[in-house]
């Protein structure tokens, strides 16, 4: 059973860097999947932050690209998100998710099949 | 960047009724790159449909997806009490992912 779990501080001060980790079990990060971060401000919709392949470059939402870094841990059992220079607008529930790049049975691409439960990060002094 | 616009914003229906949710893209989306998710309060989104029309594992057959190009539809044939939630469409293309703003299906 694939399981993803986000962890990190629930409170970050303005102008500081938000750091979250997603621990993956039941699926290898080195398998043929991508791994992504999505966020959801309170009462609002979903926003894709970025995605990474275990051996490739990350891809970022252009609106956040200058502040985002996504990386895979050396143990290949977790991947991480860093978002710098945060403001109150970055307050959100942050989700990590496994991303199917290509489904050989249907030819389908780019969907998120397993999600973590999400973690609320509040930006406040 | 492809913008996805979902309509209506809110759908008020009774259990047993049919729900039809629309997702319109600002430019053509590959049918194999359109997905739908269900989200209930306090929970993570759950994958319902991928590749525009393939049901994810464990999803009841009352959920169906269709469409191509710029117009996609999620249909719930007969609403069950557990189906009242927010639904999002999502597309992938050129190494970018975007979501629609969501449609809330509420009990009338």
What is the per-residue pLDDT for B55?
97
pLDDT tens digit string along A38-67? Answer: 999 999 999 999 999 877 789 999 999 999
pLDDT of amino acid B48 = 98
Reduce the DSSP state of residue A57 to 3 states and report it: coil
Closest CA to B32 of A57, A83, A35, A111: A111
| Chain B residues near residue A48 by CB distance under 8 angstroms | 96-99
Choose from A61, A111, A113, A116 for mutation: most chain B CBs within 10 A.
A111
Residue A87 reports pLDDT greater than 80: yes
CB contact under 8 A, B93 and A110: yes
What is the count of residue pairs from A and B with beta carbons less than 8 Å apart?
78
Interface with chain B: mutation pick from A95, A101, A108, A118, highest number of B CBs within 10 Å: A108
Report chain B (108 residues): mean pLDDT per 10 consecutive residues: 95 97 95 94 97 96 96 97 98 92 97
Q: Count the alpha carbons within 13 Å of A50 in the hemisphere toward its beta carbon.
A: 23
Of B51, B54, B99, which is closest to A46 when you measure between CB atoms? B99
Asked if B88's CB is within 8 angstroms of A110's CB, the reply is: no
Helix, strand or coil, per DSSP, at residue B52: coil
The predicted pLDDT at position B94 comes to 83
What's the rounded mean pLDDT across residues A107-125? 95
pLDDT at A81: 98
């Amino acid at each position: 059973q694939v399981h993803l779990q986000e962890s990190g501080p629930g409170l970050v001060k303005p102008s500081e860097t938000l750091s979250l980790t997603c621990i993956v079990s039941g699926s290898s990060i080195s398998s043929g999947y991508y791994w992504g971060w999505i966020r959801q401000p309170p009462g609002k919709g979903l926003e894709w932050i970025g995605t990474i392949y275990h051996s490739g470059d990350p891809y970022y939402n252009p609106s956040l690209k200058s502040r985002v870094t996504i990386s895979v841990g050396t143990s290949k059992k977790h991947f991480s998100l860093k978002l710098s220079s945060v403001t109150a607008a970055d307050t959100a529930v942050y989700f990590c998710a496994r991303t199917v790049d290509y489904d050989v049975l249907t030819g389908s691409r780019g969907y998120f099949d397993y999600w973590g439960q999400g973690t609320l990060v509040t930006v406040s002094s | 960047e492809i913008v996805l616009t979902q309509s209506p914003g809110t759908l008020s229906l009774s259990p047993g009724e049919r729900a039809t949710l629309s997702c319109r893209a600002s430019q053509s989306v590959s049918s194999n790159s359109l997905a739908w998710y269900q989200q209930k309060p306090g929970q993570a989104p759950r994958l319902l449909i991928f590749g525009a029309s393939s049901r994810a594992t464990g999803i009841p057959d009352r959920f169906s997806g269709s469409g191509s190009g710029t117009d996609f539809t999620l249909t719930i044939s007969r609403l069950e009490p557990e189906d009242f939630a927010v639904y999002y469409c999502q597309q992938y293309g050129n190494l970018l992912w975007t979501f629609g703003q969501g449609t809330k299906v509420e009990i009338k």
